[in-house]
Amino acid sequence: MTDSTTSGETGKEPEGLPNDAAITIFRAVINRLFELTIEEIDRDLAKVNTLELFDQLVVRARWTKMVDLLLAASRSIDKYKTPKGELEVMAQVFGSQLGFPAQTFPADVGARLEWYKKRVAKEYEERVKTDVNLHDITSPIEQIFLMEWRFLKIDEQHGVKIQPQKQLTLDGISYAIDFIVESPDGRVKLAIELDGHDFHERTKEQAAYDRARERKLVRHGHTIFRFTGSEIVRNPRGCVDEVVGLLAVPR
């Protein structure tokens, strides 16, 4: 929403600091928070291998939660980049100053809305945890990818089924694939592989084995998607969207 639109509709500007000064302060605060976060994770990284196994897992779990929270915050901010989102965030932040009508519910309706929000969140959490436990998914990047896939309800929307940690037998040899995505009619056959840090440390023999496995997948009709761990952490939605983009393409 532009300043001219805001002024024309409300007849007044928000009080307080000029916009550029306020945003400069926000930048400094965010920058300092990230500096402190990096300092803390560097301290944990320097000492983690000296800790007992349980304490190592505690450190890992804490940073897993931090990544989850950052990703959730990033996704929540994205919704304000649409025209509807612009109006919503303006009403939330400057509603009283600019004369936006308050969007409120009666107490009993608001309580019911909160109940539905918690119910949806709980059902989503239980589904993801069931997937993770059932298929023994221990890789954080695989967990993030699956959470994004389930959150967007890709299976239901596109008539496919994602199968984590799928064992495929090709030419008499069994291979473990991070994710297989297939449709009941066989039109869709995708193999999704996510590469963590250990992928770059593999020997020449391991790399040759991976290439041979990929060639077999292609010969058996699978399209292969390979994403790096940093791609998944930075933009899980973009990775899922890239896979979904192929689902509508005739094979």
For residue range 140-196, what is the model confidence (pLDDT) as tens digits? 999 999 999 999 999 998 999 999 998 888 888 888 899 999 988 888 899 999 987
Count: domains in the chain: 3
3-class DSSP assignment, residue 181: strand
Burial code (b: 16+ CB inside 10 Å, e: under 16) for 71-104 equals beeeeeeeeeeeeeeeebbbeeebeeebebeeee
Could you give the residue ranges of the DSSP H alpha helices within 135-203?
Answer: 140-151, 154-158
- Looking at the fold, whether 140 and 189 belong to one and the same domain comes out as yes
- Looking at the fold, whether 121 and 192 belong to one and the same domain comes out as no
- Looking at the fold, whether 25 and 62 belong to one and the same domain comes out as yes
- Looking at the fold, whether 241 and 144 belong to one and the same domain comes out as yes
0.85 surpassed by pTM: no
Q: Supply the range of the domain harboring residue 154.
A: 136-247
pLDDT on residue 81: 83
Last residue of a domain, one of 79, 98, 117: 98
180-188, Cβ contacts within 8 angstroms, sequence gap of 24 or more: 180/222, 181/243, 183/158, 183/159, 184/159, 187/251, 188/160, 188/247, 188/251
- Looking at the fold, whether 116 and 212 belong to one and the same domain comes out as no
pLDDT on residue 74: 83
Q: What is the DSSP letter of 105?
A: -
Below-50 pLDDT ranges, the chain: 1-11, 200, 251
pLDDT on residue 109: 77
